[in-house]
Amino acid sequence: MQPGKKISLIFDMKDMPIVPRHSGRIRTSLRSLLDRDYFRQLAKYSLPIMTQQVIVSLLNMVGVVMVGQKGEAAVAAVGLSGQVSFLLSLILFGVGSGSAMFTAQLWGRKDVSQLRKVLSLSLMLALGVSLIFFLLSLVFPAFIIGIFSRDPEVIRLGGAYLGVFAWSFPFFAITYIFSLILRSTTNVRLPMFVSIGALGFNTVLTYGLIFGRLGLPGLGIQGAAVAVVISRILECSGLLLLIYGQHLPVAATLRELFSFDFSFISTVLKPVLPVVLNEFLWSMAVTVYSVVYARMGTGSIAAINMISTIDNLTFSVLGGIGFATSIMVGNQIGAGKEEEAYRIAARSLFMGATTGLLLGGIALLGADHILALYKVSPVVLQDAETTLLVFGASLWLRATNSIMVVGVLRSGGDTRFCLIIDGFIIWLVGVPAMMIGAFVFRIPVYWVYMLTLTDEATKCVVSLPRFVSRKWIHNLARTVSAEHIPAA
């Protein structure tokens, strides 16, 4: 950092007048906090993403509640099958968000040619990963569920569900990558409309196929898997038709899809692979969490799955802030406006922590009404309620870390540091702590859940100095721009 540069975690105070008792500093800080242009941009990008994710989470919650009418084993079976999809989605997120670092900055430079090359490379990586998950889930569904649970009924139900559910993976991969790259070009509404439409259709179809309504056969929880596959196919097809029908920047031709060379692949993968490894390590750690909860008993994993629906809903809002931040920060860095990128990032971190506090309180207030929808035993319900107290109290910390990693550091190209704080610390701190709690001290599930938060506290302490240093800001667009790498 340049000598004499004044630093603020939230605002740039370089023009702040020196006045007694810091009154000038307070007024300037408040003006910076209420910067209208920042909030207009944040609302423009975050509200469609929030709307999409909130509606998706609500509809997913409805689906879980419908499955929950079939009992605890059904909830656990579908939840554990969802862990496979969760692991896949996190790896795809690593590929997509890693690529979006480039595409957001390239869009800031209006370099569509290189943007499409990055898109096509990420599509190939995503499809390759999804096909691996598809084949493993198709051939070894019961074995995979058996990794998580020892309950024979859960394994039977979950294996049958996963064998059908897996057919949605390749379509999900295509949709996921196109949506993330499309957002990085500031087009956040199209993915929202397509996703909401597909999930709405999925909810209706799930209802009909689980309970045998609307003239459809009653397939139980298998019906939910069939509904997902059909919805994913329609979602993918609809998104591609709209992208190519409107000739959007991500509408790459077949020639462009295969136009990159080894030099380009090497340049892009160098910062992207740490993101993929980061998400893989983090997702595997979260998978270990699920295994530990499941091994603690069907009641424990059922309680955690009940909380996860609320978790997904609250992070839908926080994810909107994170994605919007990554777009704004990436675009500013690509345009060469690094100080503006820093100011945007600082404001978003403040917003994330504040929003986390608010949502944590709301989640606690509405918890009883949500958890009452499940037909589970009183013991499971009590465990879920206590776990929710821990969740609500810690949400601000998780919100800050999420925006720091995804919205700030990663959008600045600081992927190796993100790998350390997000991929390694969870294995060094969170996983050992929760396993000791579960298997050595055999404490209740809510205390085990609290131990996983030791990772979040460590991550926050380590990442804040990195943010203030500005060492996370890297202009990746220059490395793949047409000025440096000629188009094929």
List pLDDT tens digits, range 400-438.
999 999 999 999 999 999 999 999 999 999 999 999 999
pLDDT digits 0-9 by tens, 436-469: 999 999 999 999 999 999 999 999 999 999 999 9
What's the pTM?
Answer: 0.76
Q: Please tell me the least confidently modeled range out of 68-77, 103-112, 464-473.
A: 68-77
Answer yes or no: is pLDDT of 482 > 50.
no
Q: Which of 205-209, 222-226, 317-321, 482-486 has the lowest mean pLDDT?
A: 482-486
Closest CA to 56 of 154, 179, 161, 164: 179
Q: State residue 447's pLDDT score.
A: 97
What b-and-e string marks burial along 285-320, b requiring 16 or more CB atoms within 10 Å of the CB? bbbbbbbbbbebbbbbbbbbbbbbbbbbbbbbbbbb
Mapping DSSP onto H, E and C, the string for 97-131 reads: HHHHHHHHHHHHHCCHHHHHHHHHHHHHHHHHHHH
Q: How far apart are CA 167 and CA 144, in angstroms?
A: 16
* Structure confidence at residue 256 (pLDDT): 78
Task: Give the type of residue at 135.
Answer: L
d(CA 344, CA 467): 12
pLDDT above 70 for 487: no
Question: Domain range spanning residue 283?
Answer: 36-474
**What average pLDDT does the chain have?**
84
In a domain? residue 350? yes
Spatial separation of the C-alpha atoms in residues 337 and 323, rounded to whole Å: 19
- State the pLDDT confidence band at 71, using cuts at 50, 70 and 90: low
- Other C-beta atoms closer than 10 Å to the C-beta of 186 total 18
Please give the pLDDT value at position 97: 83
Residues 6+ apart with CB under 8 A from 11: 28, 29, 32, 33, 343, 346, 347
Q: Enter the DSSP assignment of 253.
A: -
The span from the CA of 419 to the CA of 316, in Å, is: 23
pLDDT for residue 63: 67
pLDDT of residue 485: 45
Assess if residue 19 is contained within a domain: no
DSSP 21: G
In this predicted structure, which of 37-41, 80-84, 106-110, 380-384 has the lowest mean pLDDT?
80-84
The conformation of residue 374, written as its DSSP 8-state character, comes to: S
Is 401 within 8 Å of 392 (Cβ atoms)? no
Asked if residue 17 belongs to a domain, the reply is: no
Q: Residue 232: which residues within 8 A CB-CB, separation 6 or more?
A: 168, 171, 172, 175, 198
In a domain, 24, yes or no: no
Residue 263 has pLDDT above 90, yes or no: no
Inside any domain, residue 3:
no
pLDDT at residue 9 tops 70: no
On whether residue 147 sits in a domain, the answer given is: yes
Total structural domains within the chain: 1
Query: Which residues, other chains included, contact 301 with Cβ-Cβ below 8 Å and sequence gap of 6+?
Result: 76, 79, 80, 148, 149, 290, 293, 294
Handedness of CA 243, 247, 248, 252 (dihedral sign): positive
pLDDT tens-place string over residues 79-92: 777 778 878 888 88
Report the pLDDT value the prediction gives residue 285, as an integer from 0 to 100: 92
Average pLDDT over residues 219-239: 88
Residue carrying the six token digits 């949502």: 359
Average pLDDT over residues 46-55: 79
What is the predicted pLDDT for the residue at 171? 94
Q: How confident is the model at residue 268 (pLDDT cuts 50, 70, 90)?
A: confident
Mean pLDDT for 59-76 is 69
Q: Where does the pLDDT of residue 316 fall: very low under 50, low under 70, confident under 90, or very high at 90 and above?
A: confident
pLDDT reported for residue 243: 94
Residue 399 near residue 356, CB atoms below 8 Å: yes
Highest mean pLDDT among 215-219, 252-256, 290-294 belongs to 290-294
What angle is formed at CA 52 by the lines to CA 46 and CA 57, rounded to 5 degrees?
A: 120
State the amino acid at position 121 in one-letter form.
Answer: L
Using one digit for the tens of pLDDT, what is the confidence trace for 117-144? Answer: 889 888 999 999 999 999 999 999 889 8
The answer as to whether 163 is a domain residue is yes
202-206, 252-256, 321-325 — most confident range: 321-325
pLDDT band at 2 (very low <50, low <70, confident <90, very high): very low
Q: What is the pLDDT of residues 354-406, one digit of tens each?
A: 999 999 998 888 777 778 877 788 899 999 999 999 999 999 999 999 999 99
Most confident range, picked from 66-70, 365-369, 470-474, 480-484: 470-474
Q: Is 121 within the bounds of a domain? A: yes
